[in-house]
Structure 1
Amino acid sequence: MDKKRILEEGLLELYLTGELSEDLTAIVEKALGEDKELKAHFDVLEADFERMGIEQAITPPNLVKTQLKNALEQPGIRKINWLPLSIAATVALLFGLSSFWLYGKWQDAESSLSTLQSQTSQLRRQVDKLESEFRLTSNHFKSINNPDVIPLVLYGNQKASNGKAVAYVNHKSQQVLVNPKGLPALPKDKTYQMWSDVDGEMINMGTLPTDSELVTLKYIEDAESLNITIEPAGGNDHPTVEELVSYVIL
């Protein structure tokens, strides 16, 4: 089985997730042992899957523990505050001045309840954010694990030494995802931008912020190559050719 068929049928992704039969597993392992370029693609794909899982795992802050503890203990707090309230109400019949103490306790209870409600709302927002990030990560994983996806590694030149980006191209669904994490960080007034070369014309696909795990870019039909340049922040309407840092032929 040749490398092209292995890539087009998504056998590397299925091998990585343990979904291949024994026969196909043996074929893929043999190909990986014989083809250095195929092995490099697999290593990059494997590293991306591991890094995405690690980086997307979010440890809840200590504040969450405190909020949950307060939420569990609050019924007890309110129950405890009713006893002084009852006693104070009885004593107030005999000693009018004690009403000031009762009023202070009531104010404290109101303040505590307001704080708890605010913390509960904050906790709910954090949970919603975690759920949203999980869904996004799950959707990205499904996209790059699709059998129709072709992974392409763009290695940096002297302008981006030791840098690399990985593009996941799905011609069938006309979707392009790029992991730019391997590219060197740029100054705030600069950004990476990707272009498709179609018959000698460079067409803008979008910018590549290096603080994003996966970036969705515009799919360009009949592209002959993918190219990354360094442009002013916000992107450019035409590529700065002398700032080309990487490209790959499709």
Structure 2
Amino acid sequence: MEKKRILEDGLLEQYLTGELSSELHDLVEKALQEDADLKAQFDALEEDFQRMGLEQAITPPEHVRTNLQKRLEQTERRKLNWFPLSIAAGLALIFALSAFWLYGRWQNAENKLNSLQSQTTELQKRIETLESDYQLTSTHLESINNVDVVPLVLYGNHRAPNAKAVAYINHKSKLVIINPKGLPSLPENKTYQMWSDVEGVMIDMGTLSTDEELITLKYIDNAESLNITIEPVGGNDHPTVEQLVSYLSI
């Protein structure tokens, strides 16, 4: 089976998710065994799916769960043993001590409640952040799993021999999503920037942060190649050619 058909028809994604017929499954598997570049693109795609799938769960801290459970339990009634009413001095003393003890308990309970409320508020913020991240990740997953998406692997050159980034391009919807996690970290005053070459003119697609999992960039019509350079923080209006770290014809 031709490599071009496998990429354009999205057969790599369907092979990964088990959606292919047995005949197509065998053909794609044979192609992966025979084509090292195709196998590298599949490995990168599989790595992205696995990584994003593991980032969706959260376990709240044990002490927060324990405190929440304790606050829901019914407070145990405490029985007070009174001395005979005939001993006035004893009653007065017991009353004073009991009031002092109860006040201390109330203060302690109020402090614990405030602490619990603070922890609950922080947990709620974390849950809201995770829900937002989950929605964004789900949207990205739907986008890169589309049958019209073509995954491309950009390997580093001699300036960054271990660098790797994966681009997911949908020419029909004009969407470009990049996974830059395989790029080496840069100093704080530097960033990666991607460019499209259109008839010899390099057009800015956007900057890449290695702290992010998936980044949506500008789609450039009639692009002949994808290029990644190292630029000052904030990006540049023209590529620094001597800082080119990756290039791929498309």
TM range (shorter): 0.7 to 0.9
- The equivalences for 1:76-91 within 5 A come to 76=73, 79-80=75-76, 83=78
Specify every segment of 5 or more residues in structure 2 that has no aligned partner in the other structure, as ranges.
83-87
Q: Deviations over 1:139-166 (max 9, x none)?
A: 2222111111111111111111121111
Q: Offset at 1:220?
A: 1.1
Deviation at 1:87, TM superposition (A): 7.8
Q: Residue 28 of structure 1 aligns to which amino acid in structure 2?
A: V
User: Whole-Å Cα distance in 2 between the matches of residues 97 and 112 of structure 1?
Assistant: 24
Shift of 1:110: 1.6
Query: Aligned partners of 2:212 and 2:49: how far apart in 1?
Result: 14
TM-score (norm 2): 0.88
Distance 1:97 1:231, change over 3 A: same
Show the 5 A alignment for 1:173-212: 173-212=173-212
Partner of 1:171: 171
Q: Tell me which residue corresponds to 1:73.
A: 70
Q: Equivalent residue for 2:101? A: 101
SS of corresponding position for 2:78 = helix
1:5-34 superposed Cα distances (whole Å, 9 cap, x missing partner): 110110011001100011111221222233
C-alpha distance in structure 2 between counterparts of 1:130 and 1:38, whole Å: 34
For the pair 1:132 / 2:132, whether they are aligned, the reply is: yes
Query: Structure 1 102/220 Cα, relative in aligned 2: closer, same or farther at 3 Å?
Result: same
Larger radius of gyration: 2
Secondary structure, aligned partner of 1:184? coil
Q: Hey, what's the Cα distance between the residues in 2 that align with 1:110 and 1:87? A: 26
Deviation of 1:101 (Å): 3.4
2:244 aligned partner, one-letter code: L
Whether 2:87 is the aligned partner of 1:119: answer no
Gaps of 5+ in 1: none
Q: SS of the residue aligned with 1:52? A: helix
Q: What letter corresponds to residue 97 of structure 1 in structure 2?
A: A
Q: TM-score, normalised by structure 1?
A: 0.88
| Bigger mean CA offset, 223-232 vs 94-103 | 94-103
Q: Deviations over 1:32-54 (max 9, x none)?
A: 23323222222222222223334
SS at match of 1:79: coil
Structure 1 stretch 41-50 or stretch 97-106: which is displaced more? 97-106
| Counterpart in the other structure of 1:21 | 21
Between structures 1 and 2, the one with greater helix share: 1
**1:75 to 1:34, Cα distance in 2 relative to 1, 3 A:** closer
SS in 2 for 1:117: helix
Determine the C-alpha separation between the residues in 2 that align with 1:53 and 1:20: 21
Q: Which amino acid in structure 2 is aligned with residue 118 of structure 1?
A: S
Distance between the aligned counterparts of 1:199 and 1:100, measured in 2?
85
1:5 aligns with: 5
Partner in structure 1 of residue 85 of structure 2? none
| Paired position in structure 2 for 1:60 | 59
Aligned residues with identical type, % of pairs: 60
Instruction: State how many pairs are aligned.
Output: 243
Residue type of the alignment partner of 1:79: T
Say which is worse superposed, 175-184 or 94-103, in terms of deviation: 94-103
